[in-house]
Every structure is written in structure tokens, then in C-alpha cells.
């Protein structure tokens, strides 16, 4: 085998809607040395069997996503890890580009642009927000590909966090090693149908599992409000061209911030 092995690491629970597509996207990578490590949180919807049959390594472990991802990385044999959620699908060239970028001296992390698919009015608002970040915006993104040994050297994901663990790991990796790069190949993040109440419940769930604590110690660039983020300021005319979506996105981000951090904590909405 020539070139480093890439381990795609997934922590998932009840992912029946996306399991087959996720596996197919991993297997469609143009880079030849890719393995799939799945840590399943005791799913009850039938997805466990799909992942058991489709993964190179299949684990069952809880209690939350950070612990699952750490377990997946511990079992991985790859030099490089790409860490994903179950509703994120790699385009075929992502692994190859991550290998090429991380092979450059001084590169320790790679951002992968996320193309959002979402339905309903609030889904359209979420897509409108996320599309700003496609040009690159470290205030809103987390790197998803790293050298495995370096992630393990800093302790992996903080298992006290759920929802903010991607940002936290990216922040710590950048502070320790620096040298992040960015692919041109994208992944697709399929959010499905979004309703506001469900979205806020999810944010509240995450708040109870570490986001509020994270935001109190997060780097300053993480606390930039949505309208002031670098990518939004660079593309500010989009706000004027789409006033309804802009208003919806800003309302959504404000409410997300309020339910995520609670009173007395600075919001990143």
C-alpha cells in the first residue's frame, strides 16, 4: 500500500435514514486506502445491522457522540482520520484531497466545506446561513480531517461535550499545532426537514451537554454574531437580495443562541 490510510470515523445512533448513503459515499472515494469505523450507540431502528455489514470496524458504545468518536479513532488503523456525522456525505474526491493537503509540511487540520440540504422555511433559512461559510469562515467551521496521532496526543474529543465538541477539538488542535488548510471538494450535509421548535429543542439538548460551558472559554473568534462573521461581511449583499431569508436566519440564530447558552453567557448567535 502506498500513501497513508484514511479512517472515516462515525459516531451514530438510529441513523437508518442515511446509513446506506453514508456507506456508499465512503466506498465511492477515489483514494484507494480508506476504511470506515462506525461506533453505534445501540441503535434500535435497524441501522446497526446496515453499518455492521458495511463498516470495516463496527463498535457499539455510548453514552454520547464524543465518546463514540474517541472509541472509533482508538480502533482505527489509519494515519489520517476524517470525522463525520451520519447525515454528512463525502463527495468522491474528499479523502484524496485531505491526504494531499495533510502531506504538506506544517498542515495539521483540514476544513471540508459543507453544502447544506434542508427543507421547509426554516430549512431554507438554515441553508441560507450555512451557504455563507462555503467560502471559508473559521468562526463557524470546524476542521474534520487530522493526523490521528496528533488528535490522540491532545486527548481526542472532550467527552463532557455534545454539540460543541467539533469546535472544541478544532480550537485545541489549531492552538497546539496550527497549520489548517481547506479542501475544494465538499461534503453534503442533509439536515432534512427543519422546524423551529425541533431545532430549538436540539440546541437546548446540546446546551445541557456542554455548549454553555464551551462558550464561556471559547476563543474570541467563536463568539462573533452571525451578521458580523467574516464570510457574511464579505457577502453582505446577499442579505439585501434575500431579505426574508436573511431575517429568518438572523431570528433563528438569535433564538438558537438564547436557548443554547441561557442567561448571563455570551451568545455566538
Residue 247 lies in a domain: no
Residue with cell 445501540: 42
pLDDT of residue 210: 79
Residue 95: which of 81, 116, 76, 105 has the closest Cα? 81
pLDDT by residue for the chain (269 residues), tens digit each?
A: 579 999 999 999 999 999 999 999 999 999 999 999 999 999 999 999 999 999 999 999 999 999 999 999 999 999 999 999 999 999 999 999 999 999 999 999 999 999 999 999 999 999 999 999 999 999 999 999 999 999 999 999 999 998 899 999 999 999 999 999 999 999 999 999 999 999 999 888 888 877 878 887 888 989 899 999 999 999 999 999 999 999 999 999 999 988 876 544 433 44
Residue 213 lies in a domain: no
Question: Any residues with CB less than 8 A from the CB of 153 and at least 6 apart, and which?
Answer: none
pLDDT of residue 1: 58
Residue 50 lies in a domain: yes
> Hey, what's the cell of 85?
456525522
pLDDT of residue 163: 87
Range of the domain at 78: 6-194
pLDDT of residue 261: 65
Residue 62 lies in a domain: yes
- Helix (H/G/I), strand (E/B), else coil: 227: helix
DSSP alpha helix (H) spans, the chain: 19-27, 47-54, 65-75, 94-102, 121-131, 148-153, 165-177, 196-206, 212-217, 230-234, 237-241, 243-261
Domain containing residue 161: CATH number = 3.90.550.10
For 217, counting Cβ atoms within 10 Å of its Cβ (0-12 exposed, 13-18 middle, 19+ buried), the class is: exposed
pTM summary value: 0.92
If one counts the domains in the chain, the total is 1
> Hey, what's the cell of 81?
482520520
Are 158 and 210 in contact by the 8 Å Cβ rule? The answer is: yes
d(CA 208, CA 12): 19
Are 261 and 212 in contact by the 8 Å Cβ rule? The answer is: yes
d(CA 52, CA 61): 13
d(CA 29, CA 110): 17
Angle between helices 196-206 and 243-261 (to 10 degrees): 30
pLDDT of residue 257: 85
Amino acid at each position: 500500500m502506498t500513501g497513508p490510510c484514511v479512517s472515516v470515523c462515525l459516531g451514530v445512533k438510529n441513523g437508518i435514514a442515511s446509513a446506506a448513503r453514508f456507506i456508499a459515499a465512503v466506498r465511492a472515494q477515489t483514494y484507494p486506502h480508506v476504511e470506515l469505523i462506525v461506533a453505534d450507540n445501540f441503535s434500535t431502528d435497524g441501522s446497526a445491522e446496515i453499518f455492521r455489514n458495511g463498516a470495516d470496524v463496527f463498535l457499539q458504545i455510548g453514552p454520547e457522540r464524543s465518546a463514540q468518536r474517541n472509541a472509533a479513532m482508538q480502533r482505527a488503523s489509519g494515519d489520517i482520520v476524517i470525522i463525520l456525522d451520519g447525515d454528512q456525505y463525502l463527495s468522491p474526491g474528499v479523502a484524496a484531497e485531505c491526504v494531499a493537503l495533510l502531506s504538506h509540511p506544517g498542515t495539521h487540520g483540514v476544513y471540508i466545506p459543507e453544502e447544506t440540504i434542508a427543507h421547509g422555511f426554516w430549512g431554507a433559512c438554515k441553508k441560507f446561513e450555512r451557504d455563507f461559510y462555503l467560502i471559508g469562515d473559521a468562526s463557524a467551521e470546524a476542521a474534520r480531517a487530522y493526523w490521528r496521532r496528533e488528535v490522540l496526543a491532545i486527548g481526542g474529543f472532550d467527552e463532557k461535550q455534545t454539540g460543541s465538541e467539533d469546535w472544541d477539538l478544532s480550537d485545541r488542535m489549531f492552538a497546539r499545532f496550527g497549520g489548517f488548510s481547506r479542501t475544494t471538494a465538499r461534503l453534503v450535509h442533509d439536515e432534512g426537514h427543519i422546524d423551529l421548535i425541533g431545532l430549538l429543542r436540539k440546541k437546548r439538548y446540546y446546551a445541557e451537554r456542554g455548549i454553555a460551558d464551551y462558550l464561556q472559554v471559547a476563543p474570541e473568534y467563536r463568539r462573533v454574531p452571525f451578521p458580523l462573521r467574516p464570510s457574511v461581511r464579505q457577502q453582505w449583499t446577499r442579505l439585501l437580495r434575500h431579505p426574508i431569508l436573511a431575517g429568518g436566519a438572523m431570528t433563528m440564530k438569535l433564538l438558537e443562541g438564547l436557548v443554547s447558552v441561557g442567561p448571563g453567557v455570551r451568545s455566538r448567535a
